[in-house]
């Protein structure tokens, strides 16, 4: 039977066809973005079973996500039927956990061993630290866990770790000389508990194959064909397993794209794909270079960028798709304005192209950047969802600091108190907390009163910690009275101990949480610096946040704009993509400027961002960005200069005059009014009060009246709201749009 008789081969392009039918010997398929690699992999497996009658039990297909594995299996089943279910297909960890279940007795485990998740591992580490009387501030569980994890991913056992003078010296320099001892005890405790952690599933498989050649031979004979997807993301441990399994027949096929290797921080080693040919001199190299996803302009932009990398496998990605629109640069004055400009651009594109929210993705380098974007989207009533993390104000570290602020402002806030009373830990346990609340209920008293009189009510040593906490809150209350919102919030973050705890955690997660708290402080600084706000108190900020973050309960089926880091976006595609925060020291990250290898990984990350776009791509940067409470001048990212300038258009409009539905007409008009002064070349001059300007008595102000404000100029009162002690007026100003002003502060002249 000729290959032409297989229906699933007829629509493949020549390179894809070559990748499918050349199944003998070592093969590396370099698959450019959008080139149909999943189709090649699935068709290749179907062809093996269909043309060569390979038993599916003899095929091993390794992926990096369960989603990818499930999609591939479903595609193969559609091509050749239910036999596809018998393929050994899954993630590295899933497949080798399956093998370890069968062979565990060889390495001292039972086949019922427990798999520890990250929190289980950290809990065990904390117990070990306690038993060794080690300082848990110096030996943080996160730091210890990551150190052990990195060692295992490099196939370094605790014995090798303790015998290596480099590791020993490094630990001593960092003030943690007991790290090797902890690794040893941790390993032995896991073994005693018949437990493996996530890294052990790969590490122990290597040990199994290294020490028990009969077991290795068993699986070498079982797997006639080994295929690995996303090969550029493999670490040393993963590559060594695959190499051992494919050593006898050498029918090993790896598929990947060195230009999309972006996970070095997880242990991925780009050298695995760059040096694959060295390990297999008779390698077949096949390149999938036709892009089916993006326009010509987007493909050429990606090519012009990645060409600047020196460590790469050269390829020429091309497409038959239309040229499409030029890439638009959005230049904004600040990160806050960046959010508004991106949101308005999405609004405009939706109206002009009848697009859905789900057609849009906003990609950023760090999670903390989502805050300004989220606020802008919510103000424009554009639904969104954050992927790979909680919404900014729902993140634990943000909720912790907000809870402190809430309790300082309102010391009867029970939820806030329960969150912070022992955060950071100060020796006030849950039993004591419940006793406090029970007493408040019995006495019919406020919880703050009970806290302040704890010594009189309870006595004993346990009340000393409560008194310390009360003194801390009292100091915060005084600060709130005497300082502006930003200064008060910064003092709370610092003196509560929250900021130090996050700063001391040098893991990737710890640094991210620290950046998120700084971003919250940036938001408060912007709030305080906003000249248009009458009430700049922390209480007002909390109200603003509460209204802004009333979560929509989105699910994956809803029509929402997608927000995510670029790392999370890998493998996805969207018609319209916005890459924001393209500034030096943000993207590329300041932490990735120390070596060429790190900078080239950042460039690959930008390449991934570009190649997510199908129809239209936007690059955005701000001239100023709040960082650590200060408005910092920003320099556009060097990456912007590395993209072919012929493919770029600088967008100098704020919001086009595209048709807008009646339901959004008023909102859009006001939005334009409020932001005209921020649009390039459209600065609104400050209003000069009339010569006879004198604030009027506004006690009888009502809707329909015309007024003058010393800054906003002339406007018409829409309505007046009376909420107890605060009386507010909603006024539509001629040049500045709608404003809500507190009448106790506003200076208005009734015309």
**Of 439, 465, 434, whose CA–CA distance to 450 is shortest?**
439
Question: What is the C-alpha separation between 584 and 586, in angstroms, rounded?
Answer: 5
Catalytic annotation, pick one of 171, 230, 601, 614: 230
Residue 584: active-site member? no
Residue 181: active-site member? no
Using only the alpha carbons of the chain, give its radius of gyration. 30
Residue with tokens 């009502």: 702
Residue 394: active-site member? no
Question: What is the C-alpha separation between 303 and 318, in angstroms, rounded?
Answer: 9
Q: Which two tokens stand for residue 549?
A: 């973050």
Strand ranges for 160-309 from DSSP E: 195-197, 225-228, 252-256, 284-288
Catalytic annotation, pick one of 42, 260, 463, 560: 260
Spell out the residues 6+ positions from residue 436 whose beta carbon is closer than 8 angstroms to its own: 447, 450, 451, 454, 466
Q: Please state, as a whole number, how many other Cβ atoms lie within 10 Å of the Cβ of residue 207.
A: 16
Residue 477: active-site member? no
Give CA torsion, residues 634, 640, 645, 646, to 10 deg: -120
Chain centroid to CA 502: 18
Chain centroid to CA 85: 34
Phi, psi of 749 (to 5 degrees): -105, 120
Percentage helix, strand, coil for the chain under 3-state DSSP, each rounded to 5: 50, 15, 35
Question: What is the C-alpha separation between 438 and 418, in angstroms, rounded?
Answer: 13
Catalytic annotation, pick one of 612, 615, 728, 739: 612
**Of 511, 490, 494, whose CA–CA distance to 590 is shortest?**
511
Catalytic annotation, pick one of 16, 37, 258, 602: 37
Contact 716, 705 (CB under 8 A): yes
User: Any bridge partners for residue 254, and if so which?
Assistant: 28, 228
| Cα angle for residues 668, 615, 600 (degrees, 5° grid) | 110
Residue with tokens 């130090």: 500
Is-cis flag, bond preceding 424, omega within 30?
Answer: yes
Question: What is the C-alpha separation between 456 and 695, in angstroms, rounded?
Answer: 53
Q: Please state, as a whole number, how many other Cβ atoms lie within 10 Å of the Cβ of residue 335.
A: 30
Residue 170: active-site member? no
Residue 432: active-site member? no
Q: Please state, as a whole number, how many other Cβ atoms lie within 10 Å of the Cβ of residue 594.
A: 9
> Does an H or E element contain 470, and which?
helix 463-482
Contact 276, 254 (CB under 8 A): yes
Q: How, if at all, do strands 613-622 and 327-332 pair?
A: parallel
**Of 409, 692, 720, 378, whose CA–CA distance to 563 is shortest?**
378
User: Is residue 192 packed enough to be buried (19+ CB in 10 Å), middle (13-18) or exposed (0-12)?
Assistant: exposed
Spell out the residues 6+ positions from residue 359 whose beta carbon is closer than 8 angstroms to its own: 574, 575, 576
Question: Residues 200, 204, 205, 206: is their CA dihedral positive or negative?
Answer: positive
Is-cis flag, bond preceding 35, omega within 30?
Answer: no
Residue with tokens 């969802």: 385
Catalytic annotation, pick one of 171, 197, 229, 526: 229
Alpha helices (H) along 549-595 = 566-569
> Which sequence positions are flagged as catalytic?
37-38, 229-230, 260, 612
């Amino acid at each position: 039977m000729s290959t032409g008789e297989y229906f699933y081969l007829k629509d493949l392009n020549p390179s894809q066809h070559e990748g499918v039918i050349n199944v003998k010997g070592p093969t590396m398929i370099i698959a450019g973005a959008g080139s149909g690699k999943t189709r090649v992999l699935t068709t290749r497996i179907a062809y093996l079973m269909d043309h060569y009658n390979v038993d599916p039990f003899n095929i091993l297909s390794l992926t990096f996500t369960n989603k990818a594995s499930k999609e591939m299996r479903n595609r193969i089943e559609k091509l050749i039927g239910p036999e596809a279910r018998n393929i050994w297909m899954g993630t590295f960890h899933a497949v080798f956990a399956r093998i370890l279940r069968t062979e565990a007795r060889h390495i001292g485990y039972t086949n019922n061993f427990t798999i520890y998740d990250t929190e289980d591992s950290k809990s065990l580490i904390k117990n070990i630290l306690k038993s060794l009387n080690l300082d848990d501030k110096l030996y943080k569980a996160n730091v210890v866990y990551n150190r052990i994890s990195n060692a295992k991913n490099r196939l370094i056992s605790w014995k090798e770790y303790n015998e290596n003078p480099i590791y020993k010296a490094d630990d001593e320099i960092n003030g943690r000389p007991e790290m090797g001892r902890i690794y040893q005890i941790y390993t032995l405790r896991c073994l005693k508990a018949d437990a493996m952690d996530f890294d052990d599933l790969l590490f122990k498989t290597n040990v199994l194959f290294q020490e028990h050649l009969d077991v290795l031979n068993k699986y070498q004979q079982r797997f006639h064909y080994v295929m690995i997807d996303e090969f550029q993301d493999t670490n040393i441990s993963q590559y060594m397993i695959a190499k051992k399994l494919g050593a006898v027949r050498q029918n090993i096929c790896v598929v990947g794209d060195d230009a999309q290797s972006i996970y070095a921080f997880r242990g991925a080693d780009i050298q695995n794909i760059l040096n694959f040919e060295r390990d297999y001199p008779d390698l077949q190299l096949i390149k999938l270079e036709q892009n089916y996803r993006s326009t010509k302009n987007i493909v050429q932009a990606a090519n012009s960028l990645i060409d600047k990398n020196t460590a790469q496998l050269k390829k020429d990605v091309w497409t038959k798709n239309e040229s499409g629109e030029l890439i638009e640069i959005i230049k904004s004055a600040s990160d806050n304005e960046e959010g508004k400009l991106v949101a308005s651009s999405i609004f405009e594109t939706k109206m002009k192209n009848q697009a859905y929210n789900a057609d849009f993705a906003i990609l950023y380098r760090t999670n903390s950047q989502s805050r300004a974007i989220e606020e802008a989207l919510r103000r424009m009533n554009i639904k969104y969802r954050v992927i790979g993390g909680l919404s900014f104000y729902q993140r634990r570290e943000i909720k912790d600091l907000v809870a402190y602020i809430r309790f300082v402002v309102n010391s009867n806030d029970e939820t806030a108190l329960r969150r912070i009373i022992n955060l950071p830990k100060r020796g006030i346990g849950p039993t004591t907390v419940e006793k406090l609340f029970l007493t408040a209920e019995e006495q019919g008293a406020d919880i703050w009163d009970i806290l302040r009189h704890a010594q009189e009510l309870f006595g004993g040593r346990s009340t000393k910690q409560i008194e310390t906490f009360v003194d801390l809150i009292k100091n915060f209350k005084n600060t709130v009275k005497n300082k502006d919102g930003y200064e008060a919030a910064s003092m709370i973050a610092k003196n509560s101990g929250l900021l130090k705890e996050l700063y001391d955690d040098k893991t990737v997660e710890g640094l991210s949480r620290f950046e998120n708290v700084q971003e919250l402080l940036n938001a408060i600084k912007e709030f305080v610096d906003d000249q248009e706000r009458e009430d700049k108190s922390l209480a007002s900020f909390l109200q603003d946040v509460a209204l802004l973050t009333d979560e929509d309960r989105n699910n994956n089926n809803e029509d929402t704009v997608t927000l995510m880091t670029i790392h999370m976006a890998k493998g996805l595609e969207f018609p319209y993509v916005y890459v924001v925060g393209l500034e030096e020291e943000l993207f590329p990250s300041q932490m990735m400027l120390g070596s060429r290898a790190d900078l080239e990984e950042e460039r690959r990350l930008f390449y991934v961002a570009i190649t997510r776009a199908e129809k239209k791509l936007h690059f955005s940067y701000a001239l100023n960005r709040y960082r650590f409470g200060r408005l910092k001048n920003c320099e556009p990212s060097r990456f912007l200069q590395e993209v072919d300038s012929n493919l770029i258009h600088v967008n100098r409009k704020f919001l086009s005059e595209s048709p807008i539905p009646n339901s959004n007409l008023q909102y859009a008009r006001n939005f334009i009014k409020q932001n005209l002064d921020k649009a390039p070349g459209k600065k609104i001059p400050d209003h000069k009060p009339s010569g006879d300007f004198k604030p009027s008595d506004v006690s009888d102000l009502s809707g329909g009246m015309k007024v003058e404000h010393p800054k906003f100029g002339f406007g018409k009162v829409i309505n007046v709201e009376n909420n107890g002690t605060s009386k507010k007026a909603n006024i539509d100003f001629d040049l500045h749009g709608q404003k809500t002003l507190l009448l106790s502060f506003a200076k208005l002249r009734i015309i």
